[in-house]
Amino acid sequence: MEFSTLAPSDAADGFRVRGPNGDAVLLIHGFTSGPRSLRPWADALLAGGYTVSLPVLPGHGTRWEDLAATGREAWTRAVEDEFDALATTHRKVFVAGLSMGGTLALHLGIRRDPAGIVLVNPALSMVDRTSMLAGVLRRFIPSVPAIANDIALPGQDEGAYPRTPVAAVHELRRLITATRRHLDTVRAPVLAYRSLVDHVVSESGINALRRVLVGMHPAGVPRLQLTYLERSLHVATLDYDADAIFAGSLAFFDRLGGHGHG
C-alpha cells in the first residue's frame, strides 16, 4: 500500500497517509468489520500530525465467505508487515485497535516494539460462551448472524459483514489464546478504553491485562492506563465517547513521542 496525500472519500477503504510529525500510528479494525469503524479516529490522528495507516485485514472488506477461508496467521502477518514498513520510514510507530484489532495490537506488542499501544474493548475474551465450540461447530454451521453494530449512538454503522463465519470465530479464539499466553512480554505502555456495557467481549480480558501490566514504564507512565466508558457499547469509536478516545489517544501518543499541540 502506497502513501497517499489524502484519506479516501469512502470510509470503507483502507489507506496510508503521511503526516508531518515523523511518527506513525497503525490503526487496526475489528473482526468482520473494516476501516469505517475507525475512520473518525484516523481523521483525528491525521489532524494531529501523525502518519496514519488503516489497512483492510485479510478476509475483510469483501464477503463473509472470504473470511471463512482466512486463518489467524494471515491477520498477524498483515499487521507485522505493515508495522515493519512504517518502522523503516518513521521515528516511532504506535499501534491502536478496536476489538480484534486490539488483540492484534497486543500481538505487535509481543512480536515487535511499538512506542505505545491504545486498545478499545480488546477481544481477549468473548461474551458468547458458545464461541468456545466454534472449532467443532464450523464443520456443521458455516455462519451465524452478524456480530456487529453494538453501538448506543443512533444512526451509526461500522460496515461489518451481515454474517459471521464460524470457522473465523475459531481462528479468532486461537488468536486470543496465543496473545493472552504472552501478555507479560508486552513492553510498550498501554492505554485501554473499556465500555461498562459491552455485548461482544467480556471483562476477563481486561482483568488479564491488569494482572500482568503492573507498575511504571521507563517512559514515566503506567504500564497500563485504563479508562472506563460510561455511555458507549462495544464499537466505542463510533459511539458517544468517541471524541474522548480520540483526544486521549492523541495526548498519549504526543507524550510518548515528545509532541505538543499548544
99 catalytic per annotation: yes
Checking if the pLDDT of 140 tops 80, the result is: no
Better-scored residue on pLDDT, 132 or 175: 175
Range of weakest confidence among 14-18, 20-24, 167-171, 222-226:
167-171
Cβ–Cβ under 8 Å, residues 164 and 146: yes
Q: How far apart are CA 168 and CA 11, in angstroms?
A: 24
The one catalytic residue among 60, 150, 195, 198: 198
The one catalytic residue among 37, 99, 195, 249: 99
Residue of 194, 221, 163, 212 lying closest to 31 (CA atoms): 163
Q: What pLDDT is stored for residue 142 in this prediction?
A: 75
Cβ–Cβ under 8 Å, residues 239 and 157: no
Q: Which residues contact 212 (CB under 8 A, 6 or more apart)?
A: 183, 184, 186
pLDDT confidence tier of residue 146, bands split at 50, 70 and 90: confident
234 catalytic per annotation: yes
Cell of 32: 468482520
Q: What pLDDT is stored for residue 132 in this prediction?
A: 60
pTM of the model: 0.95
pLDDT in tens, 23-78: 999 999 999 999 999 999 999 999 999 999 999 999 999 999 999 999 999 999 99
Ordered domains of the chain (ranges, CATH) = 15-257 (3.40.50.1820)
125 catalytic per annotation: no
Checking if the pLDDT of 133 tops 90, the result is: no
The one catalytic residue among 170, 234, 239, 249: 234
Checking if the pLDDT of 83 tops 90, the result is: yes
Checking if the pLDDT of 138 tops 90, the result is: no
